Homo-oligomer: A and B are copies of this chain.
Amino acid sequence: MRNVAIVGIGHSKFGRRLDVSLPELAWEAIREAIEDAGLDTKDIEFVSLANIGVWSSEVSPGSVIMEYAGLNPSETIRVETACASGSAAVKTAYMAVASGQADVAMALGIERMNEMTTPEVVEILARIGNYFWEFHNFGPTFVGYYALFATQYMHKYGATEEDLAKVAVKNHYYASYNPKAHFPKKITLEDALNSPYIAWPLKLYDCSPISDGAAAVILASEEVAKKITDSPVWIRAIEGATATSNHSKRENLLSIPSARIAAEKAYRRAKIDKEDPTKYLDLAEVHDCFTIAEIMAYEDLGFAKRGEGYKLIRDEQTYIGGKIPVNLSGGLKAKGHPIGATGVSMIVELTKQLQQRVEPQRQAPIEKGLALAHNVGGTGHYVFVSILSLEKPW
């Protein structure tokens, strides 16, 4: 397997982006990425595109984006794994370079969800995976599913609504220093606790927003990377796993089994001891579509023991200076969650962090040279765990 380097990153402003069309929004990220890499669009041999796109009238968005960005006649493949689609795009571009099919490839993630109204988006999301049994029969929406996770977790382990709120406070705190975030503003614990319930115990501030945005990473072979950059970041592992989307078939609602499996596979490939990965990692971006999801991620990734994830946030151990800083971008919660873009955005953020070029207030100390992204599709229907490194993998 060839080494694969990240040689360029780009990121649009996340938010309600009806000011631009889909290809224009894509171009904001693509332009930044090619400028960052010092390349031209003609150098990109392969493009993987993550875009759920069901909110849009564009049936096959790859074609219009490729043309608008001047990427034709390069090869492109659109990919989908629900909210983990961005990671699927990075993985696909990674495989293109690792296999020798391309020397330079781009993963692009983009979503423009505000083309639809909130109730329409909420219904479509709820239909993802086994909608027939669960959505049609019982009517749960995504916040409903995560409310079930939260309820069972709080009941079993003694976490409180305040613990959940603290995740939101942290992520908004860091988002306030990220100009690309959907909500670059701090909130207080009271703001979070006083926000209206959406599905008990989850309140408005426990939920990530419906965002539009785009993110792009350019990957290159070792040979090309050497020529064009002095500060490559390497992909050390990017591993996926799946789990049933029938919640009634899950062992419990305290953990996401596919997240544990994907993490184990990634740790094995990256030679990280799964018993204490925080010893190896400088920081992580995790999939906090709801605040409870971040706490579950701490446990599924092995950052905390089972049932003790909430203590990490209670003790502020996932702020800079703590055991492991998490979601210094603002996370899905405050940076925003334009579905197809999210997984790519995580890789953009971690690359910039490892290269120590994010805003100083949210820059993690980089001492170990490894960073992790955790991206969940559905409620774990699909999960990808990626590990980036400053050191060349092999």
What per-residue 1/0 map shows which CB atoms of A232-272 lie under 8 Å from chain B? 00000001111111100000000001100110000000000
**A71 in the interface, Cβ–Cβ < 8 Å?**
yes
Known: A63-B130, A67-B246. A257 touches B73 (CB 8 A): yes
Query: How far is it, in angstroms, between the C-alpha of A66 and the C-alpha of B129 when the chains are bound?
Result: 10
**A314 in the interface, Cβ–Cβ < 8 Å?**
no
Query: How far is it, in angstroms, between the C-alpha of A316 and the C-alpha of B201 when the chains are bound?
Result: 71
Tell me the dominant secondary structure on chain A's binding face: mixed
A82 to chain B, nearest CB (A): 5
Q: Please give the number of chain A residues whose Cβ is less than 8 angstroms from any Cβ of chain B in the complex.
A: 59
What per-residue 1/0 map shows which CB atoms of A2-46 lie under 8 Å from chain B? 100000000000000000000000000000000000000000000
Known: A100-B98, A101-B98, A242-B74. A80 touches B62 (CB 8 A): yes
Query: How far is it, in angstroms, between the C-alpha of A87 and the C-alpha of B2 when the chains are bound?
Result: 24
Choose one: B81, B131, B246; the contact of A57 (CB below 8 Å). Answer: B131
What per-residue 1/0 map shows which CB atoms of A123-154 lie under 8 Å from chain B? 01101111110000000000000000000000
**A96 in the interface, Cβ–Cβ < 8 Å?**
yes
Q: Which of A177-185, A280-288, A374-382 forms part of the interface with chain B?
A: A374-382
What residues of B have a CB within 8 angstroms of the CB of A130 in the complex?
Answer: 63-64, 67
What residues of B have a CB within 8 angstroms of the CB of A128 in the complex?
Answer: 59-60, 63
| Cross-chain contact B100 with A1 (CB below 8 angstroms) | yes
What residues of B have a CB within 8 angstroms of the CB of A131 in the complex?
Answer: 57-59
Query: How far is it, in angstroms, between the C-alpha of A377 and the C-alpha of B131 when the chains are bound?
Result: 29
| Cross-chain contact B60 with A80 (CB below 8 angstroms) | yes
**A78 in the interface, Cβ–Cβ < 8 Å?**
yes
Choose one: B54, B71, B74, B239; the contact of A75 (CB below 8 Å). Answer: B239
What are some 19 contacts across the A-B interface (CB < 8 A)?
A1-B99, A1-B100, A1-B101, A2-B99, A57-B132, A59-B82, A60-B381, A62-B81, A62-B242, A63-B128, A63-B130, A67-B130, A71-B242, A72-B258, A73-B242, A73-B243, A74-B242, A75-B240, A76-B81
